[in-house]
Amino acid sequence: MTRAQRYERVVEWFSKAMPVAEPELHYGNAFQLLVAVILSAQCTDRRVNMVTPRLFEDYPTAECMAEASEEVLLDYVKSVSYPNSKARHLSEMAKMLVRDFGGEVPSEGKDLERLPGVGRKTANVIQAVIFGKARMAVDTHVFRVSHRIGLVPESASTPLAVEKCLTRNFPEEIIPKAHHWLILHGRYTCTARNPKCESCGLNTICNYAKNHHS
C-alpha cells in the first residue's frame, strides 16, 4: 500500500467513524481557548475543564486577566500541572495581548508564538480551531498514532517532522479536522498502553496492528 492510499483510507474511515471532531476543551471564544490550551500542557483536558469555568467567569477577556496578579491567577489554576509557571504565563500572555494586539488573539503563528506560554503546538491549535487554517498540532497522541498507522516514516523522529509529513499528505481542507481525529483516536482507541486494536476500524491497514496482532 502506498502512503497516498493509506491516507485515503484513513480519511475515508475517520470521515464515517468520527464526522464531528472538535476540541474537548471547553471555551467560549479565541481568548478562552488560548487560556485552556496553555493550561492543558502535560495535563488532561478533563482537569482543565474543571478549572476554567470559575476562571472564565471572573476573567472572560484578556483585558480582565491582564489586571489580575500572578498570585491571584494561581489560586484558580493550582490543581493543574505546573501551576506556578502557568499562572505566570497567563498573566504575562494577557498583558501582551492587551499591549500589543488590542486584546485580540492574533491569527499568525509568529505572533502567537511571541506570547508567553505559547509554543508551536499551541499556536497551531489556535490557528486550526479558531481561524480554520491548515495547521497540524502534534502532541503525544498525534505523534504515536501517526507512527503506528504508518502515516509517517520512522525517520520522522520529532514533532516538527511529523507535522510536516502530515501537512504534506492530508488534503489541506481536512487538516484542521484530522488533528482532532488523531488526538481522539489516540486518547480512546490507540492508547499508549494496551491499544484496542481488535475493535479499531483501521487495523487492516495499520502497521502496529499488523506487527502485534498478526
CA 166 – CA 182 distance, rounded (Å):
11
Distance CA 179, CA 138 (A): 8
Based on the residue annotation, tell me whether 100 is a catalytic residue of this protein: no
Angle at alpha carbon of residue 11, lines to 168 and 171, rounded to 5°: 30
Contact 135, 194 (CB under 8 A): no
207, three cell numbers: 502497521
Q: Which of 86, 95, 121, 177 is catalytic?
A: 121
In this structure, what C-alpha cell is assigned to residue 200? Answer: 479499531
Residue 121 annotated as catalytic: yes
- For the chain, the 3-state helix, strand and coil shares in percent, each to the nearest 5, are 60, 0, 40
d(CA 35, CA 159): 22
Cβ(39)–Cβ(85) below 8 Å: no
Residue from 139, 177, 196, 210 carrying the catalytic annotation: 139
Residues tagged active-site: 121, 139
